[in-house]
Amino acid sequence: MTTSAETVAIRAVLDAVCQGHQDKDAAAIGKQFTTNAVIFDLAPPLAHRFDLPALSGWLDNWMGPISLENHDFTIEVSGDLAFCHGFSKVSATTKVGGERAERWQRTSICLRRIDGIWKIVHEHTSVPFHMDGSYRAAIDLDPGFLSSS
């Protein structure tokens, strides 16, 4: 049974990751992860550990803040493990060309309570791809049902 206090603490971790993106602060984002967290990101490779220099470099590709908003997140807790899933909207402006980039992605996050503190041990983000033979990422999708939430 998930308690309100657990949900509040886990949401604080998720919010800190969003704020770290807004501030383009890789170290603040990294504080929310364990040192051996496994990450399945959109970009290659298939899996990696949290990498502060790589994240700093990615954050530096964008002009101004990066908006990361979590929507429709479900949080389930069992003992010292928690599982969250929902949708994230990422919005930012490229440094090269000044183009606005915006996409919805699917996000799953696993956390572990270590010494009373929730930390991310696994994160998986993905977008669907078109099954028409083009294999293009479907970054133009918008979960319209969220607008009524």
Q: Hey, what domains does the chain have and what are their CATH numbers? A: 4-148 (3.10.450.50)
| pTM value > 0.85 | yes
Nearest to 95 by CA among 141, 59, 149, 128: 59
Tokens describing residue 57:
């470099």
Tell me the pLDDT tens digit for each residue of 10-47: 999 999 999 999 999 999 999 999 999 999 998 889 99
| Amino acid in position 99 | E
Predicted local confidence at residue 146, as pLDDT: 58
φ and ψ of 60, to 5 deg:
-75, -10
Looking at residue 132, its amino acid is: D
The burial class, CB within 10 Å (0-12 / 13-18 / 19+), for 33 is buried
